[in-house]
Structure 1
Amino acid sequence: MGTVKAHLGPARTALVTGASRGIGRHLAVGLADAGLEVALLARDADRLGDVAREISSRGGKAVALTADVTDRHAVDRAVSAAENALGAIDLLVNNAGLNDAEVPLWEADRDEVRRVLEVNVYGAFLLARAAVPGMLSRGGGRVVDLSSGSGTRDMGVTFGYNAAKTALFRVGGGLHEAGYSRGLRAFEVAPGVVATDMTEDMAAHADRTDWTPPEAVVELVTAIADGQLDSLSGCYLRAGSDTVDELRARAAAAADGAPTGRRLTVSDWEVHPAAR
């Protein structure tokens, strides 16, 4: 892979997709509170404006960019506008995502599943495709994909969402493998189960009381932005389960050459639970 870049400085700017509501909004405001200048990307201009004004009222800087993440031309224009406004994009947070109905695959709506895959996977690809070349030209950058534990195991419902979250592991893993030696760092981050419009409408969480606080997600992504976890590039990190202190210790061990990392791989042969 060539010579590995020894150190990448803390991120100064970030682009957050799906920033108009839910986890994306928390991340945008939290990163701005941490001192980053933030580009906000979503389809709802009014909601984006509210987030930008909130960041401004807290002393931060934000630029609102209206775009559909599945529109390659709109994405290219948005990334260019973000770079013109902020000077660079040091951190890309692929947060935009949709869920599909909680039914088995053979009952799933074809068009709904296609849209979920387009937004969650193709959208993340388009954003990385547009933003990463600029990062590499400046010596590196960081990409965070908001993934999910549902992408690591078989589930009987929400096929589109689960397949999309599994695919994101290949997005982040590919970026890590091809870009690490050039200063690129990539992370798959599961936010746990944060109370949002999407999760609160899901039957799977109807009786849930142990929601993941959004602050845990913000703390983890802020640590990534600051460079504290760079040696865990290519890994799967879990907000609300992994603490930042634990991850710092793992990162230090990885920097010293000790084996570490959590990645999506094929397990050895085992008896499937359904057969027991």
Structure 2
Amino acid sequence: MADEAAVAGPVGVVPPARTALVTGASRGIGRALALGLARAGLDVALVARDADRLAEVAREVRDLGRTALELPADVTDAAAVAVAVRAAEAAPADGGLGGVDLLVNNAGRIDAEVPLWEADPDEWWSVLETNVRGPFLLARHVVPGMLARGGGRVVDLASGASLHEMVASSAYNASKTALLRLGAGLHEAGYARGLRAFELSPGTVATEMTAGMPMHAGRTEWTPVERSVEMVVAIASGDLDACSGWFVRVTHDTPESLSRLAARASAPAARRLRVQPAAADDPLAEVLTGR
């Protein structure tokens, strides 16, 4: 059973990542993660729609002495994703990285800050496509290669919105919650074969996206993007494999604190989504929280 494998501990050591594929890599958090991984010694495949900005980030990666692949693509386009992943997995002699050891699903969007009944249906679904279909497509094409090589790691950029209801931006709320289910499912299905999955909330980072959000108007305190870079680099190294399947939030967690917590974790569904019982004597209490 997958649950038994997760409780029993590592079934094998997965080597540190040598290569990474980062989506939404042309700006903001994605750019910072790509450069941070390059500084840590990884070669990086860069995916984003803006080819010009992607080329700039690629130059920065190469200036750090690492290989950078520019792979302009829309993460919601299944054919384009397949082409990008094939290019990343190609042998170095053919211009590829030879495989993807770490997938970082960073590309994302947010919808208008209105209640669900005022939301534009097309915008609403487009946000779901970027934030859920995109990570699904990338994992669908990258994970088989990881499993064939004995394992790999997937990081989804989740959110504090993954954990609670929002009165507005319902597409973003729903999509970031869905990511937690996708990541936990990858963990359950692939752990015994060397797959490790992490749902990472970067906090509220100053980016072009957050700058245009009314909810952050006037905000003066932001989460440093360096905290996310530190966490993803630690994940790439394998130091946090004991936290596979977890929701991680850099405003509260550090690689060191997570390592300590994992050593004494005992919850049957640590850091995962569960419906809470209504009271201590709720007849569904064990069903809701017992697995």
TM-score interval, smaller chain: over 0.9
- Measure how far apart 1:32 and its partner are: 0.5
- Which of 238, 243, 253 does residue 227 from structure 1 map onto? 238
Query: Do 1:230 and 1:251's aligned partners in 2 also have CA atoms closer than 8 Å?
Result: no
Aligned to 1:175: 186
Aligned to 2:170: 159
Query: Do 2:203 and 2:251's aligned partners in 1 also have CA atoms closer than 8 Å?
Result: yes
Trace 1:1-276 onto structure 2 (pairs within 5 A). 1=1, 5-84=11-90, 85-253=96-264, 258-259=266-267, 261-269=270-278
- Measure how far apart 1:154 and its partner are: 0.8
1:18-50 CA distances to partner (integer Å, 9 max, x unpaired)? 000010000000000000010000111100000
- Measure how far apart 1:207 and its partner are: 2.3
- Measure how far apart 1:252 and its partner are: 3.4
Secondary structure of 1:186 counterpart: strand
CA distance in 1, matches of 2:18, 2:129: 29
Secondary structure of 2:84 counterpart: helix
Query: Do 1:228 and 1:251's aligned partners in 2 also have CA atoms closer than 8 Å?
Result: no
CA distance in 1, matches of 2:200, 2:19: 19
CA distance in 2, matches of 1:236, 1:132: 20
Query: Do 1:43 and 1:66's aligned partners in 2 also have CA atoms closer than 8 Å?
Result: yes
TM-score, length-scaled by structure 2: 0.89
1:144-182 CA distances to partner (integer Å, 9 max, x unpaired)? 000001121111000111100011011101100100010
Match for 1:175: what amino acid?
L
TM-score, length-scaled by structure 1: 0.94
Where structure 2 has 5 or more consecutive residues not aligned to the other structure, the ranges are 91-95, 280-291
Secondary structure of 1:86 counterpart: coil
- Measure how far apart 1:259 and its partner are: 4.5
Secondary structure of 2:103 counterpart: strand
Match for 2:37: what amino acid?
L
CA distance in 2, matches of 1:199, 1:83: 33
Query: Do 1:217 and 1:240's aligned partners in 2 also have CA atoms closer than 8 Å?
Result: no
Match for 2:186: what amino acid?
L
- Measure how far apart 1:136 and its partner are: 0.3
1:213-268 CA distances to partner (integer Å, 9 max, x unpaired)? 010000001100000010110000001221221012123345xxx54831111112
Query: Do 1:13 and 1:36's aligned partners in 2 also have CA atoms closer than 8 Å?
Result: yes
* RMSD of aligned residue pairs (Cα, Å): 1.3
CA distance in 2, matches of 1:245, 1:70: 35
Query: Do 2:17 and 2:237's aligned partners in 1 also have CA atoms closer than 8 Å?
Result: yes
Number of residue pairs matched?
Answer: 267
Identity over aligned residues, as a percent? 62
Aligned to 1:274: none
Match for 2:212: what amino acid?
D
Aligned to 1:273: none
